Structures are given as structure tokens and as C-alpha cells.
Structure 1
Amino acid sequence: MSKSSRDLTLGSLWTAIAALTLPMTIGIMATMSVSIVDTYFVGKLGTNELAALSFTFPITITIASLAIGLGAGAAAVVSQAIGAKNEKEAKRLSTDSLIVATLIVVIISIIGLLTIKPLFMLLGAQGEVLSMIERYMWIWYISMPFLVIPMVANAIIRAVGDAVWPSIIMIGTAVINIIATPILVFGWGPIPAFNIEGAAYGTFVARVFTFLLALYVAYYREKMIVLLVPALSEFVQSCKKVLKVGIPAGVGSAVNPFGVTIVTSIIATFGAETVAAFGVATRIETFACIPMFALSASIAPIVGQNWGANKKSRVLQAVKYCYLMCCVWSVFILTLLYFAAEPISRVLSSDAGIAKESSSYLGIATIGLWGYGIVIVSAAAFNALGRPLSSLGYYLFRTALLYVPLGVIAGIYFDIKAVYYAIAAANVISGLVIGWYTLCWLKKADSCDSQLNQLETDISQ
């Protein structure tokens, strides 16, 4: 394995977490800027164009969830193989993960291209808006392999302990998208204006860059790809290992945005201004969660490598540290928003009423931000342990059993502030329950392992 690979089974866990989390925080911020840039420039074209782009969100977020899931599956099996010092298996699993991702994404792209019109008609699109969607999604589906494959490659690079290069790749993608999108949307010099298709073309160009650089780093720098055709039986086993984690992880990633969609429909009963305020507030909240998203991405290779190396006590300690960091960060955000929620909201909305309502949400709902952080860290840790159904169960417990029911009940029987308190309560309860269960499970695993080691020592003596 390359010299750039980091052994996360040794040294300070604080150092390892910081080295992985800081660059990932920057990378995730850059990635999130892509959708904001597209929305900003397409919004300048007109209402129909913005509506067309909005219709595509549920589909694009679902496919992004698939990519996240495949990446989680690859990271889980590769990091455990690295921790067990099995370089040959780690490289084979990395290569086969990319092969299976390619096969899946090609199939989905073909199905997507054949179903654009009926699917979006089912979602309610019609007329000129539907025509715009067709033109946009045709380009988007063709570029889809250049989205999914690099996400899996980046997950493999993180699995060897390197978060810097994935961050550089994510930042590079964002920069190219920011430069290319306005040129292709509005035209520049000899380049014609492609209108809404320009946003899709800009994303396409950025994805090609990501595709080439991610594969270059995975192959040449990390040497995690082998150019040998695997035996069919070996490839099937690799696929099973990756998809065992990847499918539930992908479903889990899609659970939260689905829950937000349902709660948004309840909030819509309070009026358009309230929905707009909720949209502004959740965008701010999403940015506030970026360091916790980075922590969840960072904990996976740490857990995978140490579990593979049979160092369960380090897994337990790393999870505790991440929980502590989620709590400290949440206190900082809550303090910041107490003084600055309304001014920050005004940056995204010039309407005073919307800004005030947005600040109301932020002052209440972010009380439970630390709980959400604990949920996503725990889910990522269990994916890395090769227990994806537990991870999926965490997301379902938080969203399906708490977030949606509490939000719906509060919206139907009480007022809008009750909905905000319901969201905070869902995060607090899920954080406490899932955090407690995760720590108990890891302590039990560590204790059983210690007892087994002691038994083996006694027998040998």
C-alpha cells in the first residue's frame, strides 16, 4: 500500500479524528455549494426554470443516496481489510467495488433516460416545465456515472486514512462548477446560452474532472486498484460484501430527506411565508451540521481499521470522542444563533417576516442538534462495522418513529412553534437512545473480546 496511507490503528485518536475531519469539513462545504450555485443561476432565468430544477431534487437526492451507500459499503469492507493487514484483499475489494458501482449506475442511467417523462408527470410536472425537466435530466443521467464512481473512489481513499485528497477533489469540483455553470447557462463569447441545460452541462464538466482525479489518486497514489480481471466467484463474493452494507446505507441516507419532505407538507398548512422561512432555516441548519457530517465520514475508516485489527477499545473511545465533539459544536452553534439567527436569515431572505420566522425555528430546533450528530456518527460507525441494518434502524427510529410523527401531531393539533419543538425533541430523544445503545453495544463487544483474550492466555499458560 502507498506511503500516503495512514495506519489509524496506532497513535492518538484525537489526532486521527482531526486529520480526517478538518479537510472533510472544507470538502463538504464545497460540495454543498454546487447545488446552491445551480439554484442561484437557474433562478435568474425565471420561475419555470427554477420550478423545473426543484422538481428534479427528489430524484437527484435519491441517486446521491445510492452513491453514498455504495461508498459506505466500499469503505467498510476496505477499511476492515486494511486494519487486518490484508493488502491483497483490500485492493481486490476496492477494485470490485468500483466495478459493481459502474454496473449498477449504468443500469440506473438507462432506466432513468427511458422514464424521464412519465416519472415527472407522475410528480406533477407539465407543459413547459416538463419540457425543461426532460432536457435537463437527459444530460444529468448521462453524467451520472461521473457522479457515483468518484464518490465510491473517494470513500476508498478515505478508507486508507487519507481525507486530504478527497477534500481537494471535492473543492476542485465545486470551483469548476462555479466557473462553468454561469458561462454555460447565460453564454459567453463564442459559447452559446444553454439556459437550464447549461446547469446540467456545468455539472457534467465538473463531474468529469472529479472522475478523472479520483481514479488517478486511487490508482496511482494509493495503489488501491488492480488491473486484473477477478474470478467470477471472487467478484460475486466482493459484490455481496459491498452491497450488504451499501444497500441499507443508501436507503438510510434517503430516509432523512424523505422525512423532511413530509414535515414540510405539514408546515405548508401554516402558509407560504412559513414554508419559505422553514426552507431558509433548514439551509442554515444544514451548513451548521457540516462538521458533524465530516465527523460521520471520518469515523468510518477509524472504526473499520481498528475493528479489522481487533482493537475494539479504540473503536469505543473514538465514538465517545466524536459524541463529545458533536455536543461541543452544538453548544457553539446554539450560542451563535442565539445572537445572530435573524441577521444570518436576512442574508438568505430580504423579507423581514421570513427572517424572523426562520430565526424562531433556529432558536428552538437547534437545541437538539447534538442528538442528530450522535445519530449520524453512530450510523456511520455501524456501517463501518459491517452492521448496516443497525445503521438503517437508527435512521428509521429517528425519522419514522420520532421526527415525522411528532412533527405531524404538533402541526395538526398545535401551532408552528410546537412543530419546531417536536423536531428538537426528536433529535434529543434519538440522540440519547441511540448514543446509549451504541456505547453499551461497543462496551459489551470490547468486554467479550478482553475476556476471550484472557481465556486464551490462561490456556496457553
Structure 2
Amino acid sequence: MRTDAASVSLGVTLWRQTWPMAIGVLALLGFQLVDSAFIARLGTSPLAAQSFTFPLSFLIIGVQVGLGIAIAALISRALGAGERARSRRLGSLVLIVGTLVIAGLALALWWAQAAIFLRLGAAPDALALIRSYWGPQLVAAWLGAVLYFGYSLFRAHGNTRLPGTLMVVTSLANLALDPLLIFGLGPWDGLGLPGAAWATVMAFGLGLTVLGRRLAGTNWLAVSGLAGELCRSARPFLGIAGPAMIGQLMPPLAAMLAISVVAWLGESQVAAWGLASRLETVSLMVVLAMTMSLPPWLGRCYGAGDWEQVHRLMRLALQVAVLWQLALGVGLALASPWVAGALAGTPDVRDDLSILLRYLPPSYAALGVCMLVVSAGNALGWPLRSMLMSAARLFVCYLPALGLGAWLAGLPGLALGAAIGNLLAGLAAWGLLRRILGSPRRQGVEVQ
């Protein structure tokens, strides 16, 4: 009876920690899907142009998420160990360093855009269309990264409600601005494809204004002792952030390779793949929310040495992820013709998207298992294993199966191969988690 009561209490706490982030993630990713749906109304070429930028956008997100993982892990561990002064110094450092790193990356991606997009398979005549969108999109990505670092501070201190609320607010602002800036209103002509990026710039600017005011009212930052803290924390920070960023950078690299395979099939397939990628992130909203809400919680357990709680948390999180993704995935697969019809702007893209949705969404249950294991590993002191798990998922399971499927059977084979790759990755991650948690005393050896 006591165990049942503890499980119920844990489930309630997990729900309270996760639901604000789940709603926020749904809103944030939902507006990205709405962006693509609006752009699809401009035609296949603008949608394909936006789809070519996805891997590079994921690259920026990968760096910011890797930094955010280290932020949440170190600050939550410091709080768990009662080192509040250190947590404030860490908060200031990560905001400064993270902002500068993302700004440098955005400038590099702007400078090298032509060479990158041509290698991804974009036609030379599409580069002008991509260029008009890529500039404001990089500005939006930088603003979004700074906003994300602020969210990481709130999550590390156990506050998931404000990040979730701000995600909803920025998403609603973007949703309102999208049709105005893309299509125009009355006599005023819209901006077309670049309008979607400028709408995101304005929405994220609003979010940063609100977040900055709220952060100023906390006692989570410090202005003194930063140089000494930088020297002290650089090694453990890089020990978490380095493998985490490498792990997070592998999906964009895999996305680049995947879209180059899809580009070989045709422009409508690229457009459909872009929509499917947006829908994938939306359908994984609960898993993504748990990858944000769980690490600070797990980090506190790590700092306190409470491995029994770690076992219970991971067991519950994996059960929720698998059941939710299976139910949602099967529903999307059954409704694929109608979902594709609602999102696609042309019959060719609609038909191709429907094929992708028949195979991919049910496999996200296994993908969710892998994502949770990788996220937990970074919080619990085995980032190297998490990085290797990410590499195995993408380059041993996912890409070979995707490429082989496309070679054998075109787009349907590509979709089935990607689904099989997700399933194999989920099984491998489950096996890794069972081995590691079977010997909890070994888990702190990688990063001290």
C-alpha cells in the first residue's frame, strides 16, 4: 500500500512538473508547424526552400539544448548540495557564454549558407529564395536560444510554469503575426516566405522582454566571483555540455544526410518531408516536455545520492512516453489522409505526406524511449554513454535503414526504414538503461 501511495504521489508530481512544459512545447512546436502550413499555401518551392533550412536550424537548437542541459544539470546539482551562491554564479555565466556562442554560430551559418545549401541538394535557382528567409530566421534562432537559456534557469530552480506560459504566449503572438506578414492585409502586400521568420523574431522579442523582467525579480544571478567560478566550473561544464552538444549536433547532421537522400527523390518529397519533420516534433511534445522537466529533478537526486528515486522516476517516465506515443502514433497513421490534406498545399505534397504518416508516427514510441534515456544520462553523470547512444540511434539504426529503404522502394521504403530505425534505437536505449541502473554506484564515474 505504501509503494502504491508513493507511486501515485510521484506520478502527481511528475504531472505537475511536466504539464506546463508539455503545453508550452505544444504551443512552440505547433506554431512552427503552422508556419509550414502557411508557407505551403505559397507553393511547393517556398515550402521546399524552408525545408532545406531545417537541418541548420536544428544545428543551432542542438547547440543551445546541449548548453541548456549543462545549465540545468550543474545548477540543479548545486541546489541539491545546498550551494546556492554557486548556483547564482553559474546562472550568470551560462547566460553570457550561451548568448555569445549562439551569436557566433549564427554568423558562421550566414557566411557559409550558399555552399551548405548546395551540398544539401538545393537547386542554384532556389538559393535566392532561401537567402531571403535565412537571414531573419537566423536572428529568430538567436533570440530563441537566449530565451531558451532563460527557460533553463527557471527549470533548474523547479519553475516550469513560467517557461510553459511564455512558450504559449510567444506561439500565439507568432500565430497572429504569420498571416499578416506572409500574406499581407488589404492593400498591404505581405513579405511571403521571409514574413514567417520576421513573425518569429517579433514573437521571441516579446518573450524575452517578459522573461527579462521576471528574471530581474529573482535572486538567481550574481555579478561577482564570475571569473573564479568560470575557472572552477569550466571542466565539469564542458564534461556535460561537450558530450551533450555532440549528442545534440548529431541529429542535425543526420537531418542533413536524410534530406539529401529525400532531395534525390524530388521537390515535392522534400516539401512533404519538411512537413513530416515539423509534425514529428509536435507529436513528441510530451516526451520533449519530460526531457526538460526531468533532468533538474534527476540532477537533485544525483546530488543527494537518491538512486531509488531515480529508478522510480525513469520507470514512470518511460511508461508514460510509450503509452502516449503509441496511442497518438496509431491515431495519426489512421488519419493520415486527412492530416496530410489539412497541412499540404498541393496534391503531390499531400499524397507524399500521407505516405510518410502511415509509417512514422507509431515508431515515435521507441524514439521517445531513446530521447528520455539520453536526457537522463546527461543529468545523472554518464554523458559519454548518452552521446554514444545518440550516435548509435542515428548512424547505426536510423540513417542506414532510411537510406536502404529509399534505395529499394522510394518514398514508402524511406518511411518504413526510418520507422524501423526508430524501433531499433528504442530497444537499444532500453537495454542501456537497464544495464546502467542495475549498478547505480558506477554512475558517477564519468563526470565528477
TM over 0.5: yes
1:249 aligned residue: 244
Summarize the Cα distance change of 1:128–1:344 in structure 2 as closer, same or farther, 3 Å threshold.
closer
Q: Partners in 2 of 1:143 and 1:351 — Cα distance? A: 28
Q: Partners in 2 of 1:159 and 1:365 — Cα distance? A: 33
Q: Partners in 2 of 1:154 and 1:121 — Cα distance? A: 35
Letter in 1 for 2:308: S
The 8 Å contact of residues 334 and 363 in structure 1, kept in 2 or not, is answered as: no
TM-score by length of 2: 0.85
The 8 Å contact of residues 170 and 204 in structure 2, kept in 1 or not, is answered as: yes
Letter in 2 for 1:153: G
2:340 aligned residue: 345
Decide which moves more: 296-305 or 337-346. Answer: 337-346
Give the CA RMSD over aligned residues: 3.4
The 8 Å contact of residues 96 and 239 in structure 1, kept in 2 or not, is answered as: no
Letter in 1 for 2:221: I
1:387 aligned residue: 382
- Per the TM alignment, residue 132 of structure 1 is displaced from its structure 2 partner at its CA by 4.6
2:313 aligned residue: 318
- Per the TM alignment, residue 315 of structure 1 is displaced from its structure 2 partner at its CA by 1.0
Letter in 2 for 1:437: L
1:225 aligned residue: 221
- Please give the residue correspondences for 1:288-367 in structure 2 after superposition, counting only pairs within 5 Å: 288-337=283-332, 339-349=334-344, 358-359=353-354, 361-367=356-362
2:425 aligned residue: 430
Q: Partners in 2 of 1:411 and 1:117 — Cα distance? A: 27
Q: Partners in 2 of 1:128 and 1:419 — Cα distance? A: 27
- Per the TM alignment, residue 141 of structure 1 is displaced from its structure 2 partner at its CA by 3.9
Q: Partners in 2 of 1:280 and 1:424 — Cα distance? A: 16
Q: Partners in 2 of 1:420 and 1:192 — Cα distance? A: 38
1:259 aligned residue: 254
2:161 aligned residue: 164
Summarize the Cα distance change of 1:123–1:156 in structure 2 as closer, same or farther, 3 Å threshold.
same
Q: Partners in 1 of 2:187 and 2:349 — Cα distance? A: 41
The 8 Å contact of residues 78 and 93 in structure 1, kept in 2 or not, is answered as: yes
Q: Partners in 2 of 1:339 and 1:47 — Cα distance? A: 25
Q: Partners in 2 of 1:392 and 1:434 — Cα distance? A: 12
- Per the TM alignment, residue 394 of structure 1 is displaced from its structure 2 partner at its CA by 1.1
Q: Partners in 2 of 1:180 and 1:220 — Cα distance? A: 30
- Per the TM alignment, residue 375 of structure 1 is displaced from its structure 2 partner at its CA by 0.4
Q: Number of aligned pairs?
A: 439
Structure 1 residue 397 corresponds to structure 2 residue 392: yes
Q: Partners in 2 of 1:370 and 1:378 — Cα distance? A: 13
Structure 1 residue 209 corresponds to structure 2 residue 169: no
Q: Partners in 1 of 2:182 and 2:273 — Cα distance? A: 29
Q: Partners in 1 of 2:431 and 2:396 — Cα distance? A: 17
Letter in 2 for 1:301: P
Letter in 2 for 1:385: L
- Per the TM alignment, residue 117 of structure 1 is displaced from its structure 2 partner at its CA by 5.3
2:282 to 279, 287, 306: 287
Decide which moves more: 342-351 or 264-273. Answer: 264-273
- Please give the residue correspondences for 1:122-137 in structure 2 after superposition, counting only pairs within 5 Å: 129-137=126-134
Q: Partners in 2 of 1:438 and 1:189 — Cα distance? A: 57
- Please give the residue correspondences for 1:49-68 in structure 2 after superposition, counting only pairs within 5 Å: 49-68=46-65
The 8 Å contact of residues 154 and 160 in structure 2, kept in 1 or not, is answered as: yes
2:366 to 366, 371, 374: 371
Q: Partners in 2 of 1:288 and 1:371 — Cα distance? A: 13
Letter in 1 for 2:88: K
- Per the TM alignment, residue 86 of structure 1 is displaced from its structure 2 partner at its CA by 1.7
Structure 1 residue 152 corresponds to structure 2 residue 149: yes
2:75 aligned residue: 78
Q: Partners in 1 of 2:114 and 2:351 — Cα distance? A: 39
The 8 Å contact of residues 51 and 129 in structure 1, kept in 2 or not, is answered as: no
Letter in 2 for 1:75: A
Gaps of 5+ in 1: 1-8, 450-461
Letter in 2 for 1:206: A
Structure 1 residue 234 corresponds to structure 2 residue 229: yes
Letter in 2 for 1:346: G
The 8 Å contact of residues 169 and 210 in structure 1, kept in 2 or not, is answered as: yes
1:93 to 90, 93, 107: 90
Summarize the Cα distance change of 1:92–1:430 in structure 2 as closer, same or farther, 3 Å threshold.
same
Letter in 2 for 1:401: V
Letter in 2 for 1:303: L
Helix, strand or coil: the match of 2:158? coil
1:4 aligned residue: none
Structure 1 residue 407 corresponds to structure 2 residue 402: yes
TM-score by length of 1: 0.83
- Rg larger in 1 or in 2? 1
The 8 Å contact of residues 281 and 359 in structure 1, kept in 2 or not, is answered as: no
- Per the TM alignment, residue 154 of structure 1 is displaced from its structure 2 partner at its CA by 0.4
Letter in 1 for 2:175: I
- Per the TM alignment, residue 19 of structure 1 is displaced from its structure 2 partner at its CA by 1.2
1:177 to 165, 174, 177: 174
Q: Partners in 2 of 1:214 and 1:378 — Cα distance? A: 30
Letter in 2 for 1:91: R
1:200-257 per-position Cα deviation (integer Å, ceiling 9, x unaligned): 3322211212222223333424x3122x133423223334433332233233223234
Q: Partners in 1 of 2:39 and 2:336 — Cα distance? A: 27
Summarize the Cα distance change of 1:288–1:137 in structure 2 as closer, same or farther, 3 Å threshold.
closer
Q: Partners in 1 of 2:284 and 2:394 — Cα distance? A: 17
1:154-200 per-position Cα deviation (integer Å, ceiling 9, x unaligned): 01211122211101111111122222333334445898754444333
Gaps of 5+ in 2: 1-5
Q: Percent identity?
A: 26
Structure 1 residue 32 corresponds to structure 2 residue 29: yes
Letter in 1 for 2:84: E
The 8 Å contact of residues 70 and 243 in structure 1, kept in 2 or not, is answered as: no
Helix, strand or coil: the match of 1:12? helix
Summarize the Cα distance change of 1:243–1:205 in structure 2 as closer, same or farther, 3 Å threshold.
farther
